């Protein structure tokens, strides 16, 4: 494997090559690796399974020492693919507290920060939050307008006859 990042890299069984791919990846790819799965009610609401975590999201820790704890994301480190959560700290030897950097794969989003204008996939072009019930209603209305009540198959010959007035 090359020293620099390769776009053509398909994959490997070797963990060292997988780690190297992640370490050498550019930031626009590393950002995608910060995706966190959504809770079941958010999945239904937005029609997505996971989304990139952002500062201000409320998350729940799913695995590890702090399993079950919930809190708000205070910092996101794209370069090292870690996040810091509010209230997740460890006591150091000298008595001070230090924040723990968590992997996003061990988290679950409970509540999204919708004040963030740059959130991709949740906001529409009009700037409003996409709601599944509204989009389904709009789709069904547009289909009703297009479909005629008595559907009849029209052939090319029929169209030609109508144009000629026959």
131-157 residue pLDDT tens = 444 455 555 555 555 454 555 677 777
What is the average per-residue pLDDT within 7-22? 90
Most distant CA pair in the chain, distance: 97
71 neighbors 59 (Cβ within 8 angstroms):
yes
> Between these two residues, 10 and 147, which has the higher pLDDT value?
10
Q: Is the pTM of this model over 0.75?
A: no
Q: Residue 125: its pLDDT value, please? A: 42
60-69 burial by CB neighbour count: b if 16+ within 10 A, else e?
Answer: bbeeeebeee
Q: Which domains does the chain have, with CATH numbers?
A: 1-32 (no CATH), 33-164 (2.30.30.30)
Instruction: Band the pLDDT of 2: cuts 50, 70, 90.
Output: low
Backbone angles phi, psi at 151, to 5 degrees: -80, 125
Cα–Cα distance list, 48 to 41, 74, 112, 156 (Å):
11, 23, 13, 43
Q: Residue 126: its pLDDT value, please? A: 46
88 neighbors 73 (Cβ within 8 angstroms):
no
Condensed to tens digits (0 to 9), the pLDDT of residues 18-61 reads: 999 989 999 999 999 999 999 999 999 888 899 999 999 999 99
Q: Residue 40: its pLDDT value, please? A: 94
Condensed to tens digits (0 to 9), the pLDDT of residues 68-126 reads: 999 999 999 999 999 999 999 999 999 999 999 999 999 999 999 888 777 766 644 44
Rounded Cα distance, 33 and 103, in Å: 10
């Amino acid at each position: 494997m090359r020293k620099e990042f390769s776009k053509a890299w398909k994959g490997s069984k070797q963990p060292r090559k997988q780690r190297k791919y992640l370490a050498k990846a550019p930031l626009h790819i590393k950002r995608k690796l910060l995706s966190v799965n959504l809770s079941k009610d958010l999945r239904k609401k937005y029609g997505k399974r996971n989304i990139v975590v952002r500062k201000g999201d409320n998350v729940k820790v799913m695995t590890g020492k702090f399993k079950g704890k919930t809190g708000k994301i205070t910092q996101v480190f794209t370069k090292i693919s870690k996040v810091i959560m509010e209230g997740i700290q460890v006591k150091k030897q000298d008595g001070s507290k230090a924040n723990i950097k968590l992997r996003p794969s061990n988290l679950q989003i409970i509540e999204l920060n919708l004040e963030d204008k740059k959130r991709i996939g949740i906001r529409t072009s009009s700037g409003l939050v996409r709601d599944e019930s509204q989009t389904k209603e709009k789709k069904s209305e547009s289909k009703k307008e297009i479909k005629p009540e008595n559907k009849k198959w029209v052939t090319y010959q029929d169209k030609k006859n109508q144009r000629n007035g026959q």
